Amino acid sequence: MTLKGRHIVLVEDDEIMGGSIHQRLELEGASVTWVKLMGRGLSAIRTPRLPVDGVVCDIRLPDGTGEELYEALCRTTSPPPFLFITGQGGIDQAVRLLRAGAADYITKPFDMAGFLDRLALILRPEENVDLPPQTGISVGARRVDALAAEYAAADHPVLIRGEKGLGKARLARRIHDLSDRRAAPFVEVNAHRTDRASAAMTDAIAEVGEGTLHVNGLDSLSQAAQDHLIKTLAADAPFRTIASAWPAVDERVAAGELRADLLYLLKTHEIFIPPLSERPEDATWLAKQFFEALNRRRDPPLKGLSSHAESTIRAHDWPGNGRELRARLLRAVEAAQGEWLFPSDIFPELGAESDRFSTLAEARDAAERQQIVAALTRTDGHILEAAKLLKVSRTTLWEKMQKFGL
């Protein structure tokens, strides 16, 4: 995890503390604006040199407090994520600030590694204005992005391999947009729509000109379409080919369903997108990206993604990869019950208590409760009589009433 390209405002009057944070943040690649007065902080955040991705703010300052700073900002704008650090703060203050929308609150002295983790967690999601959408922040995802950038600069065919829902089509598009052919057309042939695949291939090749042809679903490409494609490529086609396929595409060759020469032509430059289940940090990162985007359109907006939801996302297996994640978040943000997004919103099948088969104990308790209520109704709430009716001792009935909260 790095802070490269991020702009962070540090408000801290203490030379030592401020110096060490400043130094460390720059080491991580962030650009840091360090101010030592509340007033300076106000202007540094209100009229920044660069968009502010986050603020690290001490509470006690020579000309005021961090709280005042935060409050002043809130009055005029929606402030960037604030991480407060303080030496002598109290619980009340922490609660007050968090409820006011601060992102985190850490007491001094703290351990620098933990501090950086928490800071990275809360930073405003990248704006992605200039950078195209990325795959993620994990090592694997970065390699994918790096390869995509590298291959975009070249002009050879590319094969993208990965499970469903990992954005293979999006990646193909990104390579095109970063390449010199970006002004020419980007045409996609989807081999999964099996009918008329060959005709679609012919049309696409006619249409693409000097652009990029994306063959989506190389594994399912019909024989005729394969032949057509390879013939065109052999004849020095003017377009660039990007193909995408499932991880197990080699088996298709072994099974005789895919021409080996076609695959090896493409395979010289290959990008493999690892499944989301192998990089949980990307799952949470992606979730946050989606959440921000979706929540912006929500009325009223949610307060955030609860930390439990985050860890559940991290633990889930995501067999449907990014597509599943996106679908679940879409649904969750739309249907959220409370003010925060909880695990049950994202995985409604967990709770829902609905079709889950009840255990013996539950069935038993439900029946007991029901019978007790019935007995109490019949006796007008007389516990002793109800106990007699139910043939249990008064004590037992009392115990059970406690248990069921009656």
Partner DNA sequence: GGAAAATGTTCGGATTTCCGAACGCCAGAA
Partner DNA sequence: TTCTGGCGTTCGGAAATCCGAACATTTTCC
Q: Which residues bind DNA (CB under 7 A)?
A: 360, 381-385, 391-396, 398-400, 402
Q: What does 381 interact with, of a copy of itself, DNA, none (CB < 5 to 8 A by kind)?
A: DNA
Least CB distance from residue 227 to a copy of itself, whole Å? 14
Binding to a copy of itself, residues 227-286 (CB under 8 A): 247-248, 250, 268-269, 272, 274, 278, 280
Type of residue at 180? D
**Given the complex with a copy of itself, which of 28 and 368 has the nearer CB atom?**
368
Nearest Cα to Cα of residue 61 among 79, 33, 84: 84
- How far apart are CB 336 and a copy of itself at their closest, in Å? 7
C-alpha pair distances (Å), 220 with each of 12, 194, 205, 231:
60, 8, 18, 18
Q: Which of a copy of itself, DNA, none sits in contact with 394, Cβ below 5 to 8 A by type? A: DNA
Least distance between DNA and beta carbon 209 (Å)? 53
> By CB under 8 A, what part of segment 24-53 binds a copy of itself?
33, 35, 40, 43-44, 46, 49
What whole-number distance in Å separates Cα of residue 217 and Cα of residue 225? Answer: 12
Q: Does 393 bind a copy of itself (CB under 8 A)?
A: no
Burial class (CB in 10 A: 0-12, 13-18, 19+), 130: exposed
Q: Which of 65, 109, 101 is nearest to 83 (CA)?
A: 101
107 or 194: CB nearest a copy of itself: 107
Segment interacting with a copy of itself (CB under 8 A) among 12-20, 51-59, 194-202, 348-356: 348-356
- Candidates 1, 377, 394, 399; binder of a copy of itself (CB under 8 A) is 377
| Separation in Å, CA 161 to CA 90, 213, 284, 298, 364 | 53, 16, 23, 35, 52
Q: In the set 76, 109, 130, 299, which binds a copy of itself (CB under 8 A)?
A: 76
What distance in Å separates the CA atoms of residue 13 and residue 59, rounded to the nearest whole number? 10
Query: Judged by CB under 8 A, does residue 402 bind a copy of itself?
Result: yes
Q: Which does 129 bind (CB under 5 to 8 A by kind): DNA, a copy of itself, none?
A: none
Query: Which range in 103-111, 172-180, 227-235, 290-298 contacts a copy of itself by CB under 8 A?
Result: 103-111
Instruction: Report CA-CA distances (Å) from 153 to 177, 180, 213.
Output: 10, 7, 16
Q: Does 392 bind a copy of itself (CB under 8 A)?
A: yes
342 phi and psi, to 5 degrees? -105, 165
In the list 18, 54, 66, 79, the residue contacting a copy of itself (rule: CB under 8 A) is: 79
Contact between 192 and 220 under an 8 Å Cβ cutoff? The reply is yes
Least distance between DNA and beta carbon 31 (Å): 16
Rounded least distance, CB 5 to DNA, Å: 23
Q: Least separation, in Å, of the C-beta of 56 and DNA?
A: 18
Q: From the list 2, 20, 23, 107, which residue makes contact with a copy of itself (rule: CB under 8 A)?
A: 107
